[in-house]
Amino acid sequence: MALFCGASFMVSPASSASEWQDMLSGRLPMREVRAWGKRLAHDGMFRDTLHHIMTDGDSRMAENAAWVFTYADADVLPSLPSHYVDTWMERAMNTRSETLRRLLLTLISRSTLPHPFRTDFLDYCLAGMSSSRYPHSVRALCMKLAYKLCRTHPELLEELKLNLEIMEPDLLPPSLRSVRCRVMAGIASQKRG
């Protein structure tokens, strides 16, 4: 049952999935997003409900559920079961919502990546980082994730380096130029170390 307090609302622990869907379908107050992000650490049922909503379509509810996950405590995302990250990878590659894609890629970048990693997701990141059809934020996240996936594989690092060298830094916007530079520096330090 939802209890309403002024313009904000607080939710009891026994809220049903349909109540969560109703609340996530509209605009969320920032205070609630932060509180729910904290709740992810200790309420598995809540976490599973949000995960289900977030992977169940390209709606505003899915975007809001993913947004709540971005406010989880730093130790929550790396400790999630691997099927969460696997599902997020699948959704990020197939969603039509750029907002949801960006949020999912952010969550994946903060999570522990499954081993062995998904080659289809690496291919997606390599293609996405240079695709002009994606917003700069998505392209930057694809670059970071490609590096994170390739870091332990020298032959894949070399392929990533070649892909980054093809991207002319002078033609990139500052945001992508910065990420490209940091990834190239990371690759160089991997080769030295």
Tokens of 110: 């903060």
- Whether 183 and 164 have beta carbons less than 8 Å apart is answered as yes
With 0-12 / 13-18 / 19 or more C-beta atoms within 10 angstroms meaning exposed / middle / buried, residue 52 is middle
The two tokens of residue 93 are: 């590659």
Mean pLDDT (whole number) for 99-118: 93
State the Cα–Cα distance between residues 7 and 123, nearest whole angstrom: 45
Q: Give the mean model confidence (pLDDT) for residues 121-141.
A: 96
> Which pTM was predicted?
0.88
Burial of 110 (0-12, 13-18, 19+ CB in 10 A): middle
Q: Cα dihedral angle (120, 122, 125, 131), rounded to 10 degrees?
A: -60
For residue 34, the model assigns a pLDDT of 96
Residue 71: per-residue pLDDT: 96
